[in-house]
């Protein structure tokens, strides 16, 4: 039996670079069903009197003026670096490709 969420499970697994066995796909698709049903249930709630919030606590950011100020001297900053090229830190390449 193929669940309508089977393609979603396979796509998520591919994006996460996870190898999912065929017998696991159907079980995960059923889990997706339960999760999505829970979210559908949330859409039925009356939240007309609820104030929107971005976090659990009512905090505000403390912002300072963005004013230029002196920073470390380049030579002093680069002194402990294991390798420097053209006045910048040099690090090993970690991604293949031309980009």
Provide the pLDDT for residue 69: 92
CATH number of 6-42: 1.10.20
Domain boundaries, the chain: 6-42
pTM of the entire predicted model: 0.46
Provide the pLDDT for residue 1: 56
- Cβ-in-10-Å burial (0-12, 13-18, 19+) of 9 comes to buried
Q: Are 89 and 81 in contact (CB under 8 A)?
A: yes
Dist. CA 99–CA 96, nearest whole Å? 8
Provide the pLDDT for residue 54: 78
Provide the pLDDT for residue 3: 84
Task: Walk along the chain (99 residues) in steps of 10 and give the mean pLDDT of each run.
Answer: 84 94 92 93 91 79 88 93 94 77
Q: Are 98 and 92 in contact (CB under 8 A)?
A: no
């Amino acid at each position: 039996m193929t669940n309508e969420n089977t393609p979603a499970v396979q796509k998520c697994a591919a994006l996460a670079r996870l190898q999912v066995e065929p017998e696991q796909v159907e079980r995960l698709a059923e889990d997706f069903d339960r999760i999505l049903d829970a979210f559908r249930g949330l859409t039925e709630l009356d939240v007309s009197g609820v104030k929107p919030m971005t976090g659990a606590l009512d905090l505000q950011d403390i912002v300072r003026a963005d004013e230029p100020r002196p920073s470390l001297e380049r030579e002093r900053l680069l002194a402990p670096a294991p390798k420097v090229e053209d006045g910048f830190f040099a690090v090993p390449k970690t991604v293949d490709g031309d980009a």
